[in-house]
Amino acid sequence: AQSVTQLGSHVSVSEGALVLLRCNYSSSVPPYLFWYVQYPNQGLQLLLKYTTGATLVKGINGFEAEFKKSETSFHLTKPSAHMSDAAEYFCAVSEGTGNQFYFGTGTSLTVIP
Amino acid sequence: DTAVSQTPKYLVTQMGNDKSIKCEQNLGHDTMYWYKQDSKKFLKIMFSYNNKELIINETVPNRFSPKSPDKAHLNLHINSLELGDSAVYFCASSQGAGLSTDTQYFGPGTRLTVL
């Protein structure tokens, strides 16, 4: 069985500061991991995903995430926050095969001017 | 051009009514999905259709019935609406049927409020 835990339902950072959104997963098989962003009143948009290969994954809008198997983590980072980054961020996990896809409960990011 | 569109954007209705939400994608994708996002922002997959055939049917009350008239459309019909059905419903599509490997593109959501 798989699950996703996002620590911190709300995160606030100052503009220009480092963004760190945490995601831990549990999976009985090697996972595929995703980060999605949801801007207000919009659908989800894929930021980045890890399937196999390089554990540091770069996504859109300057975001990146690192798969750490030993820590069962896939934290999302961005070196310098912009006001436009304010949104809800969802981590998700699935198996390499099968039809199960699980989202975390989301982290709301606020960027303070 | 909107890739995945849903109508209506907002839906307010009384308990016991029957309602439908429509979804269309113009991406030429083979697979479409319905997700439910509850008031705590928890997202859960409900259904998935690949080339008009049902491939995922999670534990969802049978009051919910998806219908795919063609590859580009996946509508969601809900009978006898209950208060607990209030949520935001998202449609999504992907090129292939692999949830793991195929990027999903989401619609803007339909906020359903049952009074």
DSSP code for B99: T
Closest CA of chain B from A45, distance in Å: 7
Pick from A42, A43, A105: which is nearest to B41 by CB?
A: A105
Report the residue of A44, A47, A97 to disrupt the B interface, i.e. the one with the largest count of B CBs within 10 Å. A44
**pLDDT tens string A64-94:** 999 999 999 999 999 999 999 999 999 998 8
**pLDDT tens string B60-81:** 889 999 999 999 999 999 999 9
Average pLDDT value for residue range B36-41: 85
- How far apart are the C-alpha atoms of B34 and B14, rounded to whole Å? 22
Of A2, A29, A16, A31, nearest to A104 by C-alpha is A2
- How far apart are the C-alpha atoms of A66 and A60, rounded to whole Å? 14
Spatial CB neighbours of B102, under 8 Å, sequence gap ≥ 6? B31, B94, B95, B96
- How far apart are the C-alpha atoms of B10 and B34, rounded to whole Å? 16
Cross-chain Cβ contact A42/B108 below 8 Å: yes
Q: What residue has token string 């399937």?
A: A51
Supply the pLDDT for residue A101. Answer: 77
